[in-house]
């Protein structure tokens, strides 16, 4: 019988990570998708739910790792003293900077850096709160958690997928690809436990029914899942959307809904990790 207390959850994470069959860490791809991601991320209600869980304080300085185009960095800025927003995509950071200018937000500092970079040399420094929102995309989970924990003075927040997360396995089936969502939140939580961290867990549920102006817009909205596709896969994808898109009130929508759950895991810094 398997004993969860003896499982090496970091090795289990690495094994699960190695089986992924879709692109994850790719600076060129994220730069290309930056505008679309930026627009979508602001419409889901995720940021509002995250802030409700966090209950930010005016005195806090926040480190937002892999911040994207500012899904959380911009809302954070309105509630805390300062935000250091870090991402390896220069396009994402450009969009964030422009959004800050438009909103007259002056307490967000951006730094281009990755998980693998030396954060001290990058000039990040310590912060009251360290956040990795839907972005703990590392081959070595213990390494990522330890880096976040070392940055934080008071508390660490991470969020990650539950089950399939935002990925839609029906899309993969439609184009004839196998699908593996990879390790979900339970790996994070169990590794934290083995590291001596008794973390808190909250869940954010997204059940929105997206609408589109055209079939092409609908297809483009899910391309981040697949990366490059062949002409044959493209035809299968078009056929799939032709079968499942319906027209209602001047917009197109899928005839099936998808519920997305995110786990928000957080702990106070008053623990020494093993």
Sequential pLDDT tens for the chain (274 residues)? 556 778 999 999 999 988 876 555 565 565 565 455 545 556 678 999 999 999 999 999 999 999 999 999 999 999 999 999 999 999 899 999 999 999 999 999 999 999 999 999 999 999 999 999 999 989 999 999 999 999 999 999 999 999 998 889 999 999 999 888 889 999 999 999 999 999 999 999 987 678 889 999 999 888 888 878 999 999 999 999 999 999 988 999 999 888 899 999 999 987 556 5
| Residue 23, burial from CB neighbour count under 10 angstroms (0-12, 13-18, 19+) | middle
Task: Assess contact for 218 and 247: CB atoms under 8 A.
Answer: no
Tens of pLDDT, residue by residue over 55-100, are 999 999 999 999 999 999 999 999 999 999 999 999 899 999 999 9
Q: Tokens in use for 220? A: 């483009």
pLDDT at 38: 47
Could you tell me the CA-to-CA distances from 95 to 33, 34, 41 in Å, in that order?
12, 8, 13
The bridge status of strand 152-161 relative to strand 127-133 is: parallel
Q: What is the pTM of this model?
A: 0.88
How crowded is residue 69: how many other Cβ atoms within 10 Å of its Cβ?
Answer: 27
Task: Assess contact for 223 and 168: CB atoms under 8 A.
Answer: no
DSSP E strands: which ranges in 118-229?
127-133, 152-161, 200-206, 211-212
Give the residue carrying structure tokens 């070392």.
150
| Residue 138, burial from CB neighbour count under 10 angstroms (0-12, 13-18, 19+) | buried
pLDDT at 32: 60
Domains of the chain: 9-168+178-207+258-268 (3.40.50.150), 210-257 (no CATH)
Q: Tokens in use for 127? A: 């912060």
Tens of pLDDT, residue by residue over 249-273, are 899 999 988 889 999 999 998 755 6
Q: What residues contact 124, with CB distance under 8 A and at least 6 apart? A: 63, 84, 86, 111, 113, 151
């Amino acid at each position: 019988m398997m004993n969860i207390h003896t499982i090496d959850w970091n090795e289990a994470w690495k094994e699960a990570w190695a089986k992924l069959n879709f692109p994850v860490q790719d600076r060129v791809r994220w730069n290309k998708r930056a505008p679309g991601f930026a627009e979508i991320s602001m419409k889901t209600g995720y940021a509002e739910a995250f802030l409700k869980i966090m209950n930010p304080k005016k005195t806090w300085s926040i480190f937002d790792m892999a911040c994207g185009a500012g899904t959380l960095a911009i809302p954070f800025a309105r509630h805390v003293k300062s935000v250091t927003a870090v991402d390896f995509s220069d396009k994402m950071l450009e969009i964030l900077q422009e959004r800050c200018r438009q909103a007259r937000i002056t307490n967000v500092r951006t730094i281009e850096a990755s998980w693998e970079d030396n954060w001290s040399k990058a000039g990040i420094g310590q912060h009251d709160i360290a956040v990795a929102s839907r972005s703990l995309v590392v081959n070595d989970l213990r390494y990522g958690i330890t880096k976040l924990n070392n940055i934080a003075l008071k508390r660490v927040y991470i969020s990650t997928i539950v089950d399939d997360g935002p990925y839609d396995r029906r899309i993969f089936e439609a184009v004839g690809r196998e699908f593996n969502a990879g390790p979900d939140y339970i790996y994070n939580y169990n590794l934290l436990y083995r590291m001596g961290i008794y973390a808190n867990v909250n869940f954010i549920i997204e059940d929105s029914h997206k609408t589109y102006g055209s079939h092409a817009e609908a297809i483009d909205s899910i391309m981040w899942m697949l990366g490059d596709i062949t002409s044959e896969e493209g035809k299968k994808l078009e056929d799939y959307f032709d079968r499942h898109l319906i027209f209602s009130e001047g917009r197109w929508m899928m005839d099936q809904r998808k519920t997305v759950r995110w786990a928000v895991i957080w702990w106070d810094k008053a623990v020494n990790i093993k």
